[in-house]
């Protein structure tokens, strides 16, 4: 029959039996079992204190750890995490440090391990992502250089009503300027929300938005009525490329947090949903640490614009040496005794026609190029500028 394999516990039991009832001395048994006398007396002492249970291997881990998180710190972290389930370790640490700077807090990785151990983290499936594009934000060097506007995807609240949240942020500070449920997604509602923001915070240099209505159209210059109104105010409408929401990535990232904290699940009514948006906006601006801002909330970075909203809509100014044309109600201008269609959205607007090359003129609304006219073409028409991809 095969040899039986002995485990360390079995050998210890055999040693104890022979040392207790056998004729051999401890020294001889140590030589026979291949152990030291110190080890032999250790197991004999454990057997005397605990019986057979004392012969089982014990963990070598220390009973205390000098770098273990103190219980009061754990309580702080867990309580804050339960209050803000979407905040990660860095935001939790920054928030606690801002209120109690005397506390010695662990590293973010340690806090992350703690949250996982307590099952306060939902593990996400790893996704391969396209590297983020930073080129659209190169000109964003301070507050109010660029604002970002968009509609968060619509959803229904629990009473069945449709909710269309319009959001507006400052790209540099991430300050959430507006988060409002609007009655419709047309230009009237958007303009009213933008106008109230301009009166409260002043005018930005540019507003970045997508290519859909009411921000943009397929007409000349991509301008809608809202875009034309912005041009009169000296605010440049800046459109991202179709199918590239990452060019407005800071705003889209805010939308994800907005959805997690206010719409999962939706509130009972539109009024209750707006109250949830208002609470989120205050917390997002004043309390929530932002990693890109050095774990400071947006309110510590944002400053209102010095450019105030004018009482009257200004007229566009043009150089004295350019030819001006008024767009008719049909969307046309007259050039060289022929009618050139510009766009009905530009009706009653004054545009400039400037020579740029031989028999070629550029048509502009203020600083915005609408297209070019080639005087040699058999059918005079506006040639729209070709869109160049941002890099």
pLDDT in tens, 63-121: 766 667 888 888 888 898 888 888 888 989 898 888 888 888 888 888 888 888 888 88
pTM higher than 0.95 for the full model?
no
Between these two residues, 133 and 284, which has the higher pLDDT value?
284
Average pLDDT of the chain to the nearest whole number? 85
Residue 362 tokens, joined: 């550029």
Q: What is the per-residue burial (b if ≥16 Cβ within 10 Å, else e) of 97-119?
A: eeeeeeeebbeeebbbebbeeee
Between these two residues, 335 and 163, which has the higher pLDDT value?
163
- Assigned CATH topology for domain 135-300: Nucleotidyltransferase; domain 5 (3.30.420)
pLDDT in tens, 5-62: 566 777 888 888 888 887 888 888 888 888 898 988 888 888 888 888 877 877 777 7
Radius of gyration of the chain, Cα coordinates, nearest whole angstrom: 35
- CA neighbor of 34 nearest in space, from 57, 4, 54, 6: 6
Q: Are 389 and 133 in contact (CB under 8 A)?
A: no
- Cβ neighbours of residue 41 closer than 8 Å, sequence gap 6 or more: 26
Q: Does residue 391 register a pLDDT over 60? A: no
Give the residue-averaged pLDDT of 254-276: 94
Q: Which segment of 92-101, 306-315, 378-387 scores lowest on mean pLDDT? A: 378-387
Give the residue-averaged pLDDT of 350-375: 86
Q: In whole angstroms, how far apart are CA 189 and each of 180, 195, 288, 340, 352? A: 10, 10, 29, 32, 30
């Amino acid at each position: 029959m095969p040899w039986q394999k002995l485990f360390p516990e079995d050998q210890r039991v055999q040693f104890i039996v022979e040392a207790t009832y056998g004729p051999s001395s401890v020294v001889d048994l140590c030589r026979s079992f291949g152990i030291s006398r110190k080890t032999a007396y250790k197991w004999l002492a454990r057997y005397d204190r605990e019986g057979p249970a004392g012969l089982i291997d014990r963990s070598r881990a220390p009973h205390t750890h000098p770098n273990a998180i103190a219980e009061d710190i754990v309580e702080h972290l867990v309580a804050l995490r339960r209050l803000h389930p979407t905040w990660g370790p860095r935001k939790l640490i920054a928030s606690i440090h801002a209120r109690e700077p005397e506390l010695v807090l662990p590293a973010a990785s340690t806090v992350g391990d703690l949250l996982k151990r307590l099952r306060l983290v939902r593990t996400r499936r790893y996704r391969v992502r396209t590297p983020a594009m930073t080129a659209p934000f190169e000109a964003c060097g301070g507050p109010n250089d660029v604002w970002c506007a968009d509609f968060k995807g619509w959803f229904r609240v629990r009473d069945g009503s449709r909710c269309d949240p319009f959001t507006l942020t400052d790209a540099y500070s991430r300050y959430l300027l507006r988060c409002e449920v609007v009655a419709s997604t047309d230009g009237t509602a958007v303009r009213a929300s933008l106008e109230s923001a301009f009166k409260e915070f002043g005018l930005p240099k540019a507003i970045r938005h997508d290519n859909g209505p009411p921000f943009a159209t397929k007409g000349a210059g991509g301008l809608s009525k809202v875009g034309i109104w912005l041009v009169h105010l000296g605010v440049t409408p800046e459109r991202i490329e179709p199918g590239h929401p990452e060019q407005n990535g800071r705003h889209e990232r805010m939308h994800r947090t907005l959805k997690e904290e206010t719409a999962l699940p939706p509130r009972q009514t539109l009024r209750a949903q707006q109250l949830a948006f208002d609470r989120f906006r205050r917390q997002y601006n004043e309390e929530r640490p932002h990693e890109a801002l050095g774990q400071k909330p947006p309110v510590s970075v944002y400053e209102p614009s010095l450019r105030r909203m004018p009482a009257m809509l200004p007229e566009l100014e043009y150089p004295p040496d350019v030819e001006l044309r008024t767009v008719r109600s049909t969307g046309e201008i007259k050039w060289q005794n022929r009618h050139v269609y510009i766009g009905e959205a530009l009706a009653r607007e004054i545009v400039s026609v400037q020579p740029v090359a031989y028999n070629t003129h550029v048509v502009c609304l203020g600083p915005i190029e609408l297209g070019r006219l080639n005087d040699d073409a058999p059918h005079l028409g506006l040639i729209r500028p070709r869109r160049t991809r941002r890099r």
